[in-house]
Structures are given as structure tokens and as C-alpha cells.
């Protein structure tokens, strides 16, 4: 396994739980013996309703610089979440956007691997609105394989205990959404670090 860095940004609105989503991803990586660093940008009045961001760096080797410079994957559950992070994207970056909330980003580099999926609608329809973060994480893990699904399930069970059920269901729903994703599979966002 190469020691290269794998960097991702999970962004949306405060209250969607994406900071915790990033924490779960990082903990799942650590579960596999990898190194992971998570940081967040969600403070004060931004905590509810405005932009919220979780940055995750995963590597088999030492992680020195803790922040994201070139995202291999971005989750954007709000228009602002996409707009604010365009500078972190590179050709081949996997860009997962909510198909209802985020309009087709016209100015996005054609080299991006964009997947527009009904993440929020899916969560609501399953009665899992409060687990939309974990559903989005399921999409990310399903499309990239950055960590094994079992590692995420282990972290969910540990973190939520006997309340883990909805989150485990949300994670599976996200994985299924990823599997049914219509875009051609891409090698770009994939590959474990």
C-alpha cells in the first residue's frame, strides 16, 4: 500500500452532521491501521444552517500537513459547499453533489468525476433524515473504497451503541446509492491510500 495521501472534503450546511461524518471516516481508517487527520470549519454562528466542512486526510504513512490541499473527493450537500471548495479540486476529483440541492455546476472542469445523487431525498424517504451524514459517507465509501465498509460499521456500532441501527441502515443506503450511480466508474477518486 503506497504511503500517498488521500484527501477528502465533506461539506454542506451546519446541522447535517458532516463534521461527524468526517470523524467517522477518519476513525474507520484508523481502525484499519492507517493514519488519519480530521479537521473542521464550523464555528459560532456557522454551526446551524450555513457552511460546514470536515476535512479528512488518510494515509498509510505519516501525515504531517493536516489540511486538504488537493481533494481526491468532495461531498457537497449545498450549493455553497461546492462553490467554496472549487479551488481544492483537481482533474479526476470525485465530486458527489446532492441532485436536488446543488444545481449542475456549469463551470466545473470537465475532467471531474461528478456524481449527482438524491442523497437528502433518499435519507428523508427512508425516515433517516438525521443520518444523512452517514448516508453520504456510504456513497463516498461505496465509490472510492478508501476504507472497508466493515470498518465504518465497526465505528458506527461503537459510537452509537444500541442507537446504531438507523446509522447502519443509512450507511447501507448510501452504499446502494453509490452502486446504482449511473456515471461510468472512474479510477480517479478510487484506490486506497
Minimum Å gap between C-beta 93 and other proteins is 18
Q: What CA–CA distance (Å, rounded) separates 156 from 137?
A: 11
106 scored as a contact of other proteins (CB under 8 A): no
Pairing of strands 73-76, 94-98: parallel
Minimum Å gap between C-beta 46 and other proteins is 8
Minimum Å gap between C-beta 63 and other proteins is 7
Burial class (CB in 10 A: 0-12, 13-18, 19+), 66: exposed
Q: Which of 43, 104, 162, 187 binds other proteins (CB under 8 A)?
A: 43
> Helix %, strand %, coil % for the chain, to 5?
40, 20, 40
62 scored as a contact of other proteins (CB under 8 A): yes
Q: Which of 6, 10, 16, 38 binds other proteins (CB under 8 A)?
A: 38
Asked whether 115 and 124 are in contact (CB, 8 A), the reply is: no
When the beta carbons of 33 and 180 are compared against other proteins, the nearer one is: 33
Q: Backbone phi, then psi, for 6, in 5-degree steps?
A: -120, 120
Closest listed residue to residue 112, CA positions, set 136, 154, 82: 82
Radius of gyration of the chain (CA): 15
179 scored as a contact of other proteins (CB under 8 A): no
162 scored as a contact of other proteins (CB under 8 A): no
69 scored as a contact of other proteins (CB under 8 A): yes
Query: Which window, 31-39, 83-91, 101-109, 155-163, contacts other proteins (CB under 8 A)?
Result: 31-39
186 scored as a contact of other proteins (CB under 8 A): no
Q: Which of 30, 126, 157, 168 binds other proteins (CB under 8 A)?
A: 30
- 71: left (phi > 0), else alpha (psi -120 to 50), else beta? beta
Which spans of this chain sit near other proteins (rule: CB under 8 A)? 23, 26, 30, 35-40, 43-44, 62-67, 69
Amino acid at each position: 500500500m503506497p504511503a500517498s495521501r488521500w484527501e477528502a472534503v465533506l461539506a454542506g450546511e451546519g446541522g447535517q452532521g458532516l463534521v461527524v461524518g468526517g470523524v467517522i471516516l477518519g476513525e474507520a481508517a484508523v481502525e484499519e491501521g492507517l493514519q488519519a487527520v480530521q479537521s473542521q470549519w464550523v464555528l459560532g454562528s456557522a454551526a446551524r444552517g450555513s457552511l460546514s466542512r470536515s476535512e479528512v486526510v488518510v494515509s498509510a504513512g505519516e501525515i504531517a500537513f493536516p489540511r486538504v490541499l488537493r481533494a481526491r473527493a468532495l461531498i457537497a450537500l449545498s450549493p455553497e459547499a461546492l462553490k467554496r471548495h472549487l479551488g481544492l479540486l483537481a482533474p479526476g476529483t470525485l465530486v458527489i453533489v446532492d441532485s436536488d440541492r446543488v444545481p449542475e455546476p456549469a463551470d466545473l472542469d470537465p475532467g471531474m468525476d461528478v456524481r449527482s445523487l438524491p442523497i437528502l431525498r433518499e435519507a428523508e424517504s427512508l425516515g433517516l433524515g438525521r443520518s444523512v451524514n452517514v448516508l453520504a459517507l456510504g456513497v463516498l465509501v461505496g465509490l472510492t473504497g478508501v476504507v472497508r465498509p466493515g470498518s465504518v460499521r465497526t465505528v458506527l456500532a461503537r459510537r452509537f451503541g444500541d442507537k446504531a441501527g438507523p446509522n447502519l441502515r443509512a450507511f447501507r443506503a448510501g452504499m446502494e446509492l453509490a452502486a446504482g450511480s449511473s456515471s461510468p466508474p472512474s479510477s480517479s477518486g478510487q484506490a486506497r491510500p
